[in-house]
Amino acid sequence: MERFRCGGLEILFMKGDITEVEADAIVNAANKYLQHGGGVAGAIVRRGGQVIQEESDRIIRERGPLEVGDAVKTTAGRLRAKWVIHTVGPIKGEGDEESKIYRAVRNSLLLAKSEGLESIAFPAISTGVYRVEPEVSARGMIRAVKDFSRDPGSVKRVIFVLYTDDIYRVFLEEASRQLSQC
Ligand code: AR6
């Protein structure tokens, strides 16, 4: 585990399974239809319960499919987290992947702030099924957190939960690049 301070935020990097993390919200790397089949989405619904899929289906019925970069919130069922924030990352090849990841993270953080949450945990958005290079995801994600740290409101702690050794290493390298002069 590595720890950085930036503006009003504590930013942590750990290897692990995000479904086990205790935080006000964990973020899901979702698709536009909030159909949580594989990857981190599948793990969140398997562990948290079907209520997360049911609330997601209700959101889609009410507002239609999400856009890349949108973020919405459901409860978290049996998870230790209180809420799940679902955000949609880009698929490799669609263009502007880094700035779309930036917006997904920024919108997730703004939602957490508007709900008065203190802690939020993120997986490495778009680096699994969506095949974006971990370096690109790390750049966009960390830059979004760094910019948000200027006015974080209620949010005190952001936790990156990285599932593999490789991706953990890439995120730590990017963090030391961007967060050392915070
Ligand atoms: N905890 C933390 N990270 C995890 C976990 C976990 N339990 N499980 C996987 N990862 P992905 P995407 C990592 O595929 O690329 C889904 O089907 C994984 O190693 O979950 O944004 C959705 O429904 C990778 O580094 O998300 C969408 O259709 C990272 O989480 C689509 O995949 C993201 O991998 C979204 O694709």
Task: Answer whether 69's CB lies under 8 Å from 125's CB.
Answer: no
* Contacting residues for 172 by C-beta, under 8 A, at least 6 apart: 2, 13
Which CATH number goes with the domain that contains 27? 3.40.220.10
Asked whether 114 lines ligand 1 (CB < 6 A), one says: no
**Site of tokens 């919405």:** 72
Q: Residue of the nearest CA to atom 33 in ligand 1?
A: 128
Q: Looking at residue 132, what is its pLDDT? A: 98
Rounded mean pLDDT, 110-118: 98
Task: Answer whether 145's CB lies under 8 Å from 105's CB.
Answer: yes
Output the CA 144–ligand 1 centroid distance in Å: 19
Asked whether 171 lines ligand 1 (CB < 6 A), one says: no
Atom of ligand 1 nearest to the CA of 163: 3
- pLDDT(181) > 90: no
Give the total number of structural domains in the chain: 1
Range of the domain at 48: 2-179
Phi, psi for 102 (deg, rounded to 5): -55, -50
Q: Residue of the nearest CA to atom 12 in ligand 1?
A: 126
Asked whether 19 lines ligand 1 (CB < 6 A), one says: yes
- pLDDT tens profile 27-73: 999 999 999 999 999 999 999 999 999 999 999 999 999 999 999 99
Asked whether 20 lines ligand 1 (CB < 6 A), one says: no
- Paired with 2 in beta bridges are 13
H helix runs in the chain, sequence order: 39-48, 51-63, 97-114, 134-148, 165-179
Asked whether 164 lines ligand 1 (CB < 6 A), one says: yes
Q: Residue of the nearest CA to atom 9 in ligand 1?
A: 40
Other C-beta atoms within 10 Å of 39: how many? 18
How far apart are the C-alpha atoms of 103 and 140, rounded to whole Å? 8
